[in-house]
Amino acid sequence: MSADASAGQAAPAKANPNGPTEETVLSVEHYTDRLFRFRTTRPQSFRFRSGEFVMIGLPKEDGKPLLRAYSVASPAWDEELEFYSIKVPDGPLTSRLQKIQPGDKVLLGRKPTGTLVLDALTPGKRLYMFSTGTGFAPFASLVRDPDTYERYEQVIVTHTCRDVAELTYSRTLIDSLTSDPLVGEMVEGKLTLYTSTTREHHERMGRITTLIENGKLFADLGVPRLDPATDRAMICGSMEMIQDVKALMIQAGLTEGSNAAPAEFVIEKAFAG
């Protein structure tokens, strides 16, 4: 330390070691007037498991940050971070977040967490990931993680949205995986995306709950109905969707798991704000 620096000057204010870090927006893609994704820098110290969520936000004029929970949509190995977001016109955060541009700063919490992780499930043969709307985000992470394919023989991702345009993110992403250098060969013959719409005409229509109950999901996929001996499931969507799909899992004999007590299915609310 130089003599000048120690000459009775106050130490510079230290950044809060537990507070969010400031990350740079690298790209933004808008899918519909309700949905977009963005990618940001990732600090080297930021560790997470594919499927977890973290607080994301923007600084507020009064200095207090405005943060909301977001699933990380990129896999754990990725050097960047990806997020998939709804745009709520009067949402305190998303009304502003939807305007971000490359080069802008966003705040990133330091403590990712969550139950939609492979470690919260007991081993099985087939993994279902049931999602609606932005509930696809944690699965966008898990389908890009080689660990998913090392643990399961078959991976079935279901995504149900109001209209066809809202399926763009999941469809584009899953399509791109066959040429992915890391998981390209692993997804072949193992990974299936099963989409449906509920409000716009589409080749397949209906809520996922209906498609499970009437057996169409299993008939279309050519697999047996849910069986706790072979099947594992992750559920992410609105509170109502989770409750309804969860009831069907319990009815099929599957038990809910957690990080502390892994079992046959796990749930997480899709975040919005």
Q: Which residues ranging from 114 to 153 are in contact with ligand A2P (CB under 6 A)?
A: 132-133
Q: Which residues ranging from 66 to 85 are in contact with ligand A2P (CB under 6 A)?
A: none
Per the CB < 8 A criterion, the answer to whether 44 and 64 are in contact is no
Q: What gap in Å lies between CA 191 and CA 154, rounded to an integer? A: 6
- Residue ranges in 121-238 assigned as alpha helix (H): 137-142, 146-151, 168-176, 184-187, 208-213, 216-221
Near ligand A2P by CB under 6 A: residue from 145, 209, 249, 254: 209
- Contacting range for ligand A2P; rule: CB under 6 A; set: 14-22, 146-154, 204-212, 215-223: 204-212
CB closer to ligand A2P, 143 vs 211:
211
Q: How far is the CB of 196 from ligand A2P (least distance, A)?
A: 8
Q: How far is the CB of 216 from ligand A2P (least distance, A)?
A: 14
CB closer to ligand A2P, 119 vs 240:
240
Q: Does 244 bind ligand A2P (CB under 6 A)?
A: yes
CB closer to ligand A2P, 50 vs 132:
132
Q: Does 161 bind ligand A2P (CB under 6 A)?
A: yes
182, burial (CB in 10 Å: exposed 0-12, middle 13-18, buried 19+)? middle
Q: Does 160 bind ligand A2P (CB under 6 A)?
A: yes
Q: What gap in Å lies between CA 52 and CA 134, rounded to an integer? A: 14
Provide the terminal-to-terminal Cα distance of the chain, rounded to the nearest Å: 47
Q: What gap in Å lies between CA 140 and CA 148, rounded to an integer? A: 12
Q: Does 167 bind ligand A2P (CB under 6 A)?
A: no
Q: Which residues ranging from 218 to 237 are in contact with ligand A2P (CB under 6 A)?
A: 237
- Strands of 154-161's sheet, edge to edge? 191-197, 154-161, 126-132, 231-237, 265-269
Rounded alpha-carbon distances, angstroms, from residue 265 to 48, 117, 222: 20, 10, 21
Contact residues for ligand A2P (CB under 6 A)? 132-133, 160-162, 198-199, 207-209, 237-238, 240-241, 244
